Amino acid sequence: MLTLEPLGECVVGDTNGSNGAKPEGDTAMLSVEQCLAALQECDVPIVSIGGQEPLEYPEIASLTRAILNLRKHLFLSTDGALIRQRLHMIPPYTNFFWNVKLDGTERVHEGRTGRPGLFREAIDGIKAAKNAGFFVVVTSTIYPDTDVSDVEALYARLHQMHVDGYAFSPHYPAERLCRDGSAEFRERMRRRFREISERLSGFNLMTSPIYLEYLRGERELDCSVWSSPAYGPRGWSGPCYLQNVKFAESYKALVQETAWENYGRGLNPRCENCQCREGFETAAILGMNRKAGDLWKTLAWQLQGSLGATRVGKRQA
């Protein structure tokens, strides 16, 4: 997957996710032509438009149509506030997904974002998109203190609105933690994902079972973030969007000139508490650290899920 950030990257540690504050003085943005050139350079089947709120990008309609015309699967990541205003920019495509970020019910989500009224705007946007025939998925950031019952209540409400699927983004602490702090952080995160596996498996989770095993602490995976790069006005984020240690001028330079052996748990303190989807779910899908039975688990997950419905035998639609 390639993530295009036409308005620039999010601020690391910002709880708003795709709608974080733009770095002060950073006014640059990508042109549609630059975005398409990056996609030609890194030819992938799946594209995500993210970073700073992409629906504020003046050329978002042109960029979206151009990517879909290339027959790519496209996820447009948004806080949901502007969906209703931008809904007319394209007709529904079977390879297009609105990806709305919601971290919980109204009280919890707005407590995380600090933006009163955002939850209702997002819900209204989701309803409008579904009524217009679009696919909609919801991504939730999971924190060490996430109340899984609150997420369950959110998903139950969204299911009644026929939301098509749900994904998780593990929180990445911007601050460096001591050894004991890191161990405590990882264990709390693992407990949250064990709860998630028990309580939310009835919903159409768009998270691979291998990656969930990793999140629960049942196995290790090697980060493969090189296969999910991010491109913005400053170039290709290296080694990944969470660190931005440097920016490469080309995808080839990012892959060939990054000292990948210096990154990963046990190799770099900034990697110690990272569980990001871009690095580790990609590793699961690529078959890194493969174990017996992984292929069948993945196939079963793909066959049992269906857009707009719960998994077989789990919950009544």
Poorest-pLDDT segment among 118-127, 162-171, 287-296, 302-311: 302-311
Judged against a pLDDT cut of 50, whether residue 317 lies above it is answered with no
pLDDT for residue 316:
37
292 vs 95, which has greater pLDDT?
95
pLDDT tens, 16-27? 344 444 544 456
Domain presence at residue 266: yes
Q: 287 pLDDT band (50/70/90 cuts)?
A: confident
Residue 219 maps to which CATH number? 3.80.30.10
pLDDT for residue 178:
87
Please tell me whether residue 283 adopts helix, strand or coil conformation. Answer: helix
Judged against a pLDDT cut of 50, whether residue 198 lies above it is answered with yes
Domain presence at residue 26: yes
pLDDT tens, 17-76? 444 445 444 568 999 999 999 999 999 999 999 999 999 999 999 999 999 999 999 999
Structural domain count, the chain: 1
Q: 124 pLDDT band (50/70/90 cuts)?
A: very high
- Mean predicted confidence (pLDDT) in 202-216: 92
Strand extents, DSSP E, 37-175:
46-49, 73-78, 96-101, 135-142, 165-170
CA–CA separation, 14 vs 20, rounded Å? 6
pLDDT for residue 307:
60
Domain presence at residue 184: yes
Q: Please, which residues bridge with residue 100 across strands?
A: 78, 138
pLDDT for residue 265:
83
Residues in the chain, overall count: 317
Domain presence at residue 313: no
Q: Print the domain residue range for 20.
A: 2-304
Q: 288 pLDDT band (50/70/90 cuts)?
A: confident
pLDDT, averaged across the chain: 89
- Closest by alpha carbon to 55, among 9, 96, 87? 87
User: How buried is residue 63: exposed, middle or buried, by Cβ count under 10 Å (0-12/13-18/19+)?
Assistant: buried
Judged against a pLDDT cut of 80, whether residue 308 lies above it is answered with no
CA–CA separation, 226 vs 50, rounded Å? 17
CA–CA separation, 150 vs 74, rounded Å? 29
Judged against a pLDDT cut of 50, whether residue 152 lies above it is answered with yes
Domain presence at residue 316: no
Domain presence at residue 314: no
Poorest-pLDDT segment among 101-110, 142-151, 208-217, 294-303: 294-303
- Mean predicted confidence (pLDDT) in 212-237: 93
pLDDT tens, 232-286? 999 999 998 888 788 999 999 999 999 988 888 888 888 999 999 899 888 888 7
Domain presence at residue 309: no
Judged against a pLDDT cut of 50, whether residue 15 lies above it is answered with no
Q: What's the CA angle centered on 190, arms 185 and 194, to 5 degrees?
A: 150
pLDDT for residue 231:
97
**In percent, how much of the chain has pLDDT > 70?**
90
pTM for the full model? 0.89
Q: Please, which residues bridge with residue 98 across strands?
A: 76, 136
- Report phi then psi at 168, rounded to 5: -120, 145
CA–CA separation, 98 vs 100, rounded Å? 6
pLDDT for residue 11:
61
pLDDT for residue 177:
86
Domain presence at residue 66: yes
pLDDT for residue 183:
93
